[in-house]
Amino acid sequence: MNIVANWSYPTAIKLGRGRIKELAEACKTLGIKKPLLVTDRGLATMAITAHALDVLEEAGLGRAIFSDVDPNPNEKNLEAGVTAYKAGGHDGVVAFGGGSGLDLGKAVAFMAGQTRPVWDFEDIGDWWTRANADAIAPIVAVPTTAGTGSEVGRASVITNSQTHVKKIIFHPKFLPGVVICDPELTVGMPKVITAGTGMDAFAHCLEAYCSPFFHPMSQGIALEGMRLVKEFLPRAHKDGTDIEARTNMMAAAAMGAVAFQKGLGAIHALSHPIGAVYNTHHGMTNAVVMPPVLRFNRPAIEDKLARAAAYLGIAGGFDGFYDYVLSLRSDLGVPDTLTAMGITPDRIDELAAMAIEDPSCGGNPVPMTLENTRQLFLDCF
């Protein structure tokens, strides 16, 4: 089935095969005449990126690119991006890539007009009001993975390269003005990235669904997002050219990010420090810690997950759901433990201290303390 859709929630989303050809039009809609395409180093040399630049060039918008972007991008990447943006006289950003390219592209558009350091805009209280909102450049987002949902998010995750802490930088205007979800861009993802990013989308839906706050809208989106992952992630993983599966995974990724406005939890609170310290892939790390976190949260989520299991067609309530997660992980080739991922427990105290400072920690259904979080980390090895 060829799915084509135009949505206006939470922003303008153009979903469907081949729609990258609408990139220049999307820029023009936002008044961008000289975009800077921001992506990561790996994507810089890929054909999908060259094609996106062709589309811009053919429409007279140039083919400027900045790609000095690491996985888990940091403030140095950001500074270099802002410098390139200013030097090129750009008036908007095409944020292109997985979460790394998208987050850095969004942050470049944000920081291009600010005078305070980026850390002043961390997602704490009303810190975002410190920003000069009029100076934020317009953003077109083009995801090339189906996982983070950053294309529909109002935050950007930037790693502090000094402290190795992942910081969430927030502003409502981080939300891109137009998003192009073209599933053909995700066809070339290596299997391990398809698995890891897909599990990130699943983790967003699962944690949002389990978080204790009252937000039935997000609850509903999270539940259907999990169903899409269940049906389509194994298909996309098995046959990367399955466009129907790829399209549905792009939808699930966007749904995960919309849903997690309700809250995240221990999966992300553990995964953020591990990613910042060991530079592991974010979604894959989430998948590794997911079963121990489910066990940890069991007393608070047993009934909720039984309802989710029923909706997903899984028999056996919480236990059935738990077994399903284990089998999904093994089908996708996810390492069983952090040990299997190549990490040793020697920095566990540091990781636990970082986890309980992570903003995701507040959405976990079972309150996290230094003591129980340290034990939870141990259970992941």
Ligand X SMILES: NC(=O)c1ccc[n+]([C@@H]2O[C@H](COP(=O)([O-])OP(=O)(O)OC[C@H]3O[C@@H](n4cnc5c(N)ncnc54)[C@H](O)[C@@H]3O)[C@@H](O)[C@H]2O)c1
* Residue 271 Cα to chain centre, angstroms: 12
**Which C-beta is closer to ligand X: that of 178 or that of 189?**
189
Judged by the rule CB under 6 A, the positions of this chain that interact with ligand X are 40, 42-43, 71-72, 97-101, 103, 144-145, 147-148, 150, 153, 155-157, 185-186, 188-189, 193, 197, 200, 257, 282-283
Q: CA-to-CA distance for 381 and 96, rounded, in angstroms? A: 35
* Residue 301 Cα to chain centre, angstroms: 24
**Which C-beta is closer to ligand X: that of 92 or that of 99?**
99
Closest approach, Cβ 46 to ligand X, in A, equals 6
Of 47-55, 150-158, 198-206, 207-215, which segment contacts Fe ion by CB under 5 A?
198-206
**Measured on CA atoms in the order 74, 160, 169, 227, is the torsion positive or negative?**
positive
Closest approach, Cβ 314 to ligand X, in A, equals 25
Q: CA-to-CA distance for 228 and 23, rounded, in angstroms? A: 27
Residues 176-195 that bind Fe ion (CB under 5 A): none
Contact status: 200 vs Fe ion (CB under 5 A): yes
The DSSP line for 161-229 is TTTTEEEEEE-GGGS-SEEEE-GGGGTT--HHHHHHHHHHHHHHHHHHHHS-S--HHHHHHHHHHHHHH
Query: Which residue has the CB atom at the shortest distance from ligand X?
Result: 99
Two tokens at 355? Answer: 């986890």
Closest approach, Cβ 150 to ligand X, in A, equals 4
**Which C-beta is closer to ligand X: that of 61 or that of 254?**
254
**Which C-beta is closer to ligand X: that of 97 or that of 359?**
97
**Which C-beta is closer to ligand X: that of 81 or that of 98?**
98
Query: Could you give the C-alpha distances from 306 to 203, 311, 321, in angstroms and in order?
Result: 17, 9, 7
Nearest to residue 278, comparing CAs of 194, 191, 350? 350
* Residue 215 Cα to chain centre, angstroms: 21
Strand 165-170 relative to strand 155-160, pairing: antiparallel
Contact status: 151 vs Fe ion (CB under 5 A): no
Q: At 316, phi and psi to the nearest 5?
A: 100, 15
Element (H, E) at 94: strand 92-97
Decide which of ligand X, Fe ion, none touches 291; Cβ closer than 5 to 8 Å per partner kind: none
Closest approach, Cβ 78 to ligand X, in A, equals 12
Decide which of Fe ion, ligand X, none touches 240; Cβ closer than 5 to 8 Å per partner kind: none
Decide which of Fe ion, ligand X, none touches 193; Cβ closer than 5 to 8 Å per partner kind: ligand X
Contact status: 103 vs Fe ion (CB under 5 A): no
Contact status: 207 vs Fe ion (CB under 5 A): no
Closest approach, Cβ 83 to Fe ion, in A, equals 28
**Which C-beta is closer to Fe ion: that of 184 or that of 200?**
200
Closest approach, Cβ 130 to Fe ion, in A, equals 25
Closest approach, Cβ 281 to ligand X, in A, equals 6
Two tokens at 176? Answer: 């891109």
**Which C-beta is closer to Fe ion: that of 82 or that of 258?**
258
Q: CA-to-CA distance for 351 and 274, rounded, in angstroms? A: 7
Decide which of Fe ion, ligand X, none touches 100; Cβ closer than 5 to 8 Å per partner kind: ligand X
The DSSP line for 245-292 is HHHHHHHHHHHHHHHGGG---HHHHHHHHHHHHH---HHHHHHHHHHH
| Residues near Fe ion (CB under 5 A) | 200
